Amino acid sequence: MAEDSDEYVYGTGVPMVVKPPGAGNFDKLLESIRYKGQLIARNQKLDSGVAAGFQGLVIGFLFAVIMIGLPIVCSGGI
């Protein structure tokens, strides 16, 4: 039986993943990108929380003024 060059030979060893040369720089770049992405995400979460907190404070204050002021005005107390 003649072997063709397109045939695969099975059971001839353990396949290993080989790290290409220069992959250390890639790992450092990937870690830098991941770190910067985490900083950006944290900053956006903080900004949205502060904005939502201020907006909730204003809405709550207006709601309290309406809930207290409306019965006083309707009863003719002022």
Cα(76)–Cα(53) distance, rounded to whole angstroms? 35
What band does 77 get if pLDDT is binned at 50, 70 and 90? low
Q: Give the chain's count of helices (H) and strands (E).
A: 1, 0
Cα(16)–Cα(29) distance, rounded to whole angstroms? 24
Q: What's the predicted TM-score (pTM) here?
A: 0.43
Q: How far is CA 20 from each of CA 8, 27, 28, rounded to the nearest angstrom?
A: 24, 12, 15
Contact 69, 75 (CB under 8 A): no
Q: Copy the structure tokens of residue 65.
A: 């003024």
Convert the pLDDT of each residue in 7-50 to its tens digit: 767 777 777 777 777 667 888 888 999 999 999 999 988 888 77
